Chains A and B, each alone.
Chain A
Amino acid sequence: EAGVAQSPRYKIIEKRQSVAFWCNPISGHATLYWYQQILGQGPKLLIQFQNNGVVDDSQLPKDRFSAERLKGVDSTLKIQPAKLEDSAVYLCASSSEGLGNEKLFFGSGTQLSVL
């Protein structure tokens, strides 16, 4: 079974530039998550999709972050413009139904450095 695919693996940009991350979840998984993991902290949920609808985006900084999941499969997370404090690992995860006690499957993440 193929896992959650993310790209790019690493990205270095200057502040005020824009950046985009891509995620392809496990085939058939209805629920897709984007997490931000700042060094020394646990992952923080940015946005959760159920198919192509947003379930929770309460912690997404909507003035600069946006995400979409067209056709309910792969997803793109964008930051525009980036700030220094956006330096983090961005993790994509998926699960089959989005139920609370389900196992999450994570990708390897995109490490973003904002200079």
Chain B
Amino acid sequence: GNSVTQMEGPVTLSEEAFLTINCTYTATGYPSLFWYVQYPGEGLQLLLKATKADDKGSNKGFEATYRKETTSFHLEKGSVQVSDSAVYFCALTKGYQKVTFGTGTKLQVIP
């Protein structure tokens, strides 16, 4: 079945540092890939998505590229801010199948 593997957290960075959160997936064919973010006390919200190979999703300075050859969708940001502190979930779906989420990676950014 489909699965998503994320790097374990927590990840602690200083403000303005470079962020990478690794995500790899297992699925047949070409699933759609997502990053969701959960800020403290709030529900999950979509951060970005990519629906085909080599697509790059981007939003709020975050980027992720759909790499079919490495089955990866790593999340990156060039300069993190304290307000980026949250839990980040990688997810995938295919067709009408249910969305499969990773376990989440907690990011803490310190001033």
Closest A residue by C-beta to B89: A42
Given A43-B89, A100-B94, A106-B43, 13 more A-B residue pairs with CB atoms under 8 Å apart are: A40-B104, A41-B103, A41-B104, A42-B91, A55-B96, A93-B43, A93-B44, A100-B93, A100-B96, A101-B93, A104-B44, A105-B45, A106-B44
- Is B62 interfacial (CB 8 A cutoff)? no
Report B's interface with A, CB cutoff 8 A.
Answer: 4, 31-32, 36, 41-46, 49, 51, 89, 91, 93-99, 101-104
- Asked if A104 meets B96 with Cβ closer than 8 Å, knowing A42-B4, A42-B89, A42-B102, the reply is no
Minimum distance in angstroms from A30 CB to a CB of chain B: 13
- Is A45 interfacial (CB 8 A cutoff)? yes
Closest A residue by C-beta to B6: A42
Residues of A within 8 Å of B, CB-based: how many? 24
A84 to B96, CA, bound (A): 33
Minimum distance in angstroms from A102 CB to a CB of chain B: 9
Minimum distance in angstroms from A34 CB to a CB of chain B: 11
Within 8 A of B (CB), among A83-113: 91, 93, 98-101, 103-109
